[in-house]
Chain A
Amino acid sequence: MNEIDLARERAQRARASVVDMAASPAGCHLGGSLSVLDILVAAYTVAESRPGVEVVLSKGHAAAALYAVLHQTGSIEEDPAPRYGRAGEPYTGHPSPKVPGVRFPTGSLGHGLAYAAGWALSRRLLGEPGGAIAVVGDGEMQEGLVWETLQIVQAKRIGGLTVVVDVNGGQNDGYVADISPMTDLPARLAAFGFDVIEADGHDIEKLAAVLVPEDRPKAVLAATVKGKGVPATEGKASSHYVKISPARAKQWKAVLR
């Protein structure tokens, strides 16, 4: 099986795992986890074959997707789904370094991007290979810290950084377009000195090709569907946080696409 086919299989299994986490007593941020899942699978596919490449999920509320993908890539040995959100387990609603494979705690939005920029800068200072792939949400782009960081990346010519935006159009209280639209995002990022690529955020093969960090900072605007894969949730802002019964999870997993 080639690398991309393996990644697609991993994505499918991880999607089912995320649905299982939505059926936990805590529920989970389902919509954003399912939208970002293929991006994460592609990012870890890139990182697995390149030393020093760090993936940082800045939109940390999609922790369910991160845990599911880290389980598929082998960083997390046990199945995180039955442990998600439970007392005594490290699988909190936002990821922490207690989870194998997680370097930075994220979820307070904006910080993950800045940590990733620091990691990318460290490659240059240490003369070591690698870089960082920061996965941010389109709603997260409303944070001032994001733009502080982009300014520094441009000013200090921090290379080796790929910022991939999960453009699912949703945020906690509704749609990004209604709350605080990210108008002209490609032009804005280009103005900050990023090479901007627009991609289908569910095309793992394409994503794996464009996410590779390079000398110049790169922004990948990944168009995604919130709640992707579960027909009942696709495209719905209300899928942001979901708690379902085990029976419903079984139904949803049976029709995953």
Chain B
Amino acid sequence: MTLPGREAYKDELTALAAGDPRIVCLEADLGGPSHPFAERHPDRFCNLGIAEAAAVDIAVGLASAGLRPFLSTFAAFGTWRAAESVKLGLGYQGAPVVLVCPYGGVSGGWFGPTHHSLEDLAVVQSLPGVRIAVPCGEAETRAVIRAAAGEDRPCYVRLARNEPYEAPFEPAGRGEAGWVRGTGGPTCLVSVGEKPAQLCVAATERRPDLSHAHLCWVDFESLAQAAAELAESARRLVVVEEHRAAGSVASTLALLLPGHEVLSVNAGTSWPSEGGGHDDTLASLGLTVPAVLAAADLGVPETVTIGLAARGAPRPATASGTPHATTAGTGTGTPGATHAPTTHSQGAT
């Protein structure tokens, strides 16, 4: 049975700790009442309670003494509630703390915007030296945890909620593009995260001429290494990610590849505050297969204009999944606007 990322993390860390006495597992009341690490290594497990900023600082103190703390809480809290602690500890000090955050993106679904995290990568991406991984599926999550434990580097790991994902591709290492489908055509879909990977797999089934590369490590340094491989593969990159445009992987790739068209299918600007599961919430944001296909075809300017409807604007069409609506994510602040102005017109809105 495939484990969801959260469970794969706990299981892998518990196994690693058996051979590495430096590993300490910290929780902030969101690890669940039964934790395999606590059962196997009770002396090195500590649920610090609901105090994320202090938890990060305490982890930094432990790391300073030579320990290797892994701290887990939801992405919204780990990156925003504790933002200054992350900046000073993982960023400025470069403390080898691994921050493992489920509930990335809108995987919290009906939990609402307080528990969504469409801005976490922007926060961490702004901190030089902090590695960022967005693993897909059990094997890649395990690989990320092993890599993080094996190096003296600060690291942010974004996970989803409880849904398992059978990744139809091999885990991608740091600086690598994980190739799901290579066609040699002019357009390559680049997925970040589990749901975007699924969208891109579905999109390439409809459009076999599109390539699909999957990225796991998405901090600036890692992307700088992977960028050359992506650049060689296609002229146009369509980055699909569960994140807002600001601080997105697309924006980083656009900076790294000024000679390429880098388009973005992202989460747009709305604050989805209705019920429903992960997929429903993604659909309400316009992160759908038609949106990916529309972006691959460079969209149509007027659809982008519609998609640019600001927060609070009606979005019934978005939920329907029509190409117009699904371009919403594409249009909102796509970095492609900078590098391929002829393809998007959001600047005129």
Contact = CB atoms under 8 A, between A and B. Distances in A.
A binds B: yes
Interface in A87-116: 97, 103-105, 108, 111, 114-116
B48 A152 contact: yes
Interface residues of A, number: 26
A148 B63 CA distance: 20
B44 A152 contact: no
A180 interface: no
Given A105-B92, A111-B88, A145-B54, A156 B46 contact: yes
A123 B66 CA distance: 11
Contacts of B65: 118-119, 122-123, 126
A115 B67 contact: no
A43 interface: no
A46 to B, nearest CB: 19
A121 interface: yes
Nearest to A106: B88
B43 interface: yes
A111 B91 CA distance: 14
Interface in B15-68: 24, 43-44, 46, 48-49, 51, 53-55, 57-67
A108 B89 CA distance: 12
Contact of B64 (A103, A144, A151, A152): A103
Contacts of B66: 122, 126
B93 interface: yes
A122 B54 contact: no
B62 A118 contact: yes
A75 to B, nearest CB: 17
A155 B58 CA distance: 14
B141 interface: no
A104 B93 contact: yes
A211 B93 CA distance: 27
A69 B60 CA distance: 25
Contact of A118 (B53, B57, B84, B88): B57
A121 B61 contact: yes
Given A97-B93, A155-B49, A114 B67 contact: no
A111 B54 CA distance: 8
B49 A118 contact: no
B60 A115 contact: yes
Interface of B is mostly: helix
Given A97-B93, A105-B88, A114 B61 contact: yes
Interface residues of B, number: 26
A146 B64 CA distance: 20
A36 interface: no
Nearest to B43: A125
B85 interface: yes
Contact of A152 (B43, B58, B60, B92): B58
A242 B282 CA distance: 55
Contacts of A212: none
Given A115-B60, A118-B60, A125-B24, A148 B93 contact: no
Contacts of B62: 118-119, 121-122, 125
Nearest to B55: A152
A144 B44 CA distance: 27
Contacts of A104: 60-61, 64, 93
Contacts of A119: 61-62, 64-65
Contact of B57 (A103, A122, A123, A145): A145
Contact of B49 (A97, A111, A151): A151
A108 B84 contact: yes
Contacts of A126: 65-67
A145 B84 CA distance: 11
Contacts of A114: 53-54, 57-58, 61, 85
Contacts of B58: 114-115, 117-118, 121, 149, 152
B255 to A, nearest CB: 28
Contacts of B84: 108, 111
A108 B46 CA distance: 26
Given A104-B93, A111-B88, A152 B54 contact: yes
A123 B64 CA distance: 11
Contacts of B48: 152, 155-156
A114 B65 CA distance: 14
Nearest to A115: B61
A125 B67 contact: yes
A104 B340 CA distance: 45
Given A145-B57, A148-B53, 18 more contacts: A103-B64, A105-B92, A114-B61, A116-B61, A117-B57, A118-B58, A118-B62, A119-B62, A119-B65, A121-B46, A123-B65, A125-B67, A126-B65, A149-B54, A149-B58, A151-B49, A152-B55, A156-B48
7 contacts: A104-B64, A115-B64, A116-B61, A118-B58, A118-B62, A145-B53, A156-B46
Interface of B: 24, 43-44, 46, 48-49, 51, 53-55, 57-67, 84-85, 88, 92-93
For the complex of A and B, 4 pairs with smallest distance between CB atoms: A118-B61, A114-B57, A122-B65, A118-B58
